[in-house]
Amino acid sequence: MAITGDQRLLKRINRMALVRLVRGRPGLSRAELAADTGLTKSTVSLLVQELIDEGWLREEEVLVTGAIGRRPTPLRLDDRRLALIGAELGVGILAVVATNLAGEVIAKANQTVASELSANDTLSLLCQMLEDVVREVREADRVVLGVGVGTPGSVQESSGILAVAPNLGWRDIPVRDWILKSLHAAALGDIPVFVQNDADVAALGEVEFCSIGVGDPLLFLSLGVGVGAGVVVGGRLLLGRRGFAGEVGHIQLQSDGPTCSCGRRGCAEAFFGLQVMLNALQSAKLELLDVSRSEEFVQSLLRTAGQRLGVLMHNLWTTLDPGLIVLGGPSCKLGPSFIDAARETFQRLANEAGLEVPSVVQARYGELMIPVGAAALVLHKYLQPI
């Protein structure tokens, strides 16, 4: 009997349900998987064998304790045979990593690029880096599952087109097709390519590479030249109708505030976008030649910016009721004045309402949050077949 499209999809869903269960509870046996999913034991055995053959799962050795009878074999994710490739196509930076299924980085490369470089030239450089990392990973006998790309701006997920990226100055760039063609031309075969907003992939990096459940919804705040948010609800990204969800840098905090790069006034990004803060620090240092006064001025400037961030965190918290807030991006390195002021303001606003704030943590992957998150996007696409 021919297998219909629906049956194939059903099989993919069942296979990935098993992978997700084993990721969440390493050591599960086939019998436990059958009990948890409601699938028959023979179906689970068949699917698990396929997943072992393909490099998704592996059997753990059973400790022999002398007791009689066959013990169920514990299963784990196999971190030795498959690879996920993730790339950051950022403002002035290109970075590529390869990770295993557990999110451990097994290869990486990065380079800075001149911000005036054209989209075509930038993509050519990125493709060269991707080709090198794909080859390196394959030479180590790993199978590449796909390439993910995280980039600032709004991305049309279905087409992989970067629609608008104000901080790169780009519009309508077919990132996915460009990379697909380039990998194909380099004789690397048809590797699936997925493109998504950088804060969104960073959020996925926190979720997909974590064996224990993280807070739900998860709110990831990416703090750099641009300020953006990735929101994962029930294991899925909140993207909005056109992929614009999460452009929280353009939430208005003050209607007569400074002009923002988007044309509006008083946006969050106009107060604590990294470039805005660096410009303000630069001019402060130029004006204040007295070093001690200058330091005081810098700390006060960072504190004020941090207080604005705290207000944004509060507004997003009241909107989304997140189970966890993650802060990441280069602005986090500006020192405690900035982040501590944000946390204090957030806590104060919650106290005034008599409410308990959710946990606020720093991004797990630090500087690699976008490329590792882009690798997580590949895993996410496999694990969520619909």
What are the residues binding Zn ion (CB under 5 A)? 250, 260, 262, 264, 267
Would you say 237 or 267 has its CB closer to Zn ion? 267
Tell me the chain's radius of gyration from C-alpha atoms. 23
Residue located via tokens 């805005």 = 276
Dihedral pair phi/psi, residue 245, rounded to 5°: -60, 140
Q: Are 143 and 82 in contact (CB under 8 A)?
A: yes
Cα 314 from Cα 356, distance rounded (Å): 12
* Least distance (Å) between residue 308 CB and Zn ion: 13
* CB 258, min distance to Zn ion, A: 10
For residues 356 and 181, what is the distance between their CA atoms, to the nearest angstrom? 50
Closest separation in Å from C-beta 264 to Zn ion: 5
If one counts every other C-beta atom within 10 angstroms of the C-beta of residue 264, the result is 14
Nearer to Zn ion, 217 or 273 (CB): 273
DSSP letter at 259?
Answer: B
Q: 1-9 contacts: CB < 8 A, separation 24 or more?
A: 9/385, 9/386
Asked if 198 and 370 touch (Cβ cutoff 8 Å), the reply is yes
Q: How far apart are CB 298 and Zn ion at their closest, in Å?
A: 25
Contact 118, 130 (CB under 8 A): no
Least distance in angstroms from the C-beta of 272 to Zn ion = 12
CB of 224 to Zn ion, least distance (A): 15
Residue 107 or residue 267: which is nearer to Zn ion going by CB? 267
Going by the DSSP 8-state scheme, the letter that residue 258 receives in this structure is P
| Nearest approach, Cβ of residue 250 and Zn ion (Å) | 4
Q: Give the 3-state DSSP-derived string for 132-201, with helices as H, strands as E and coil as C.
A: HHHHHHHHCCCEEEEEEEEECCEEECCCCEEEEECCCCEEEECHHHHHHHHHHHCCCCCCCEEEEEHHHH
Nearer to Zn ion (CB atom), residue 122 or residue 167: 167
* Nearer to Zn ion among residue 24 and residue 258 (C-beta): 258
User: Least distance from C-beta 299 to Zn ion, angstroms?
Assistant: 26
CA dihedral 59, 215, 85, 195 (to 10 degrees): 140
- Please identify, using beta-carbon distances, which residue of 209 and 271 lies nearer to Zn ion: 271
Shortest distance in whole angstroms from residue 279 CB to Zn ion: 16
Between 137 and 260, whose beta carbon lies closer to Zn ion?
Answer: 260
> What CA–CA distance (Å, rounded) separates 279 from 46?
60
CB of 280 to Zn ion, least distance (A): 17
Name the nearest CA neighbour of 202 among 10, 32, 366: 366
Beta strand spans in the chain (E)? 57-59, 75-77, 82-89, 93-99, 105-112, 143-151, 154-156, 161-165, 170-173, 193-197, 218-223, 227-233, 236-237, 324-328, 359-362
Whichever of 264 and 285 has its CB closer to Zn ion, that residue is 264
Considering beta carbons, is residue 107 or 227 the nearer one to Zn ion? 227
CB nearer Zn ion, residue 148 or residue 226? 226
Whole-angstrom distance, CA of residue 307 vs CA of residue 312 = 9
Whole-angstrom distance, CA of residue 175 vs CA of residue 193: 9
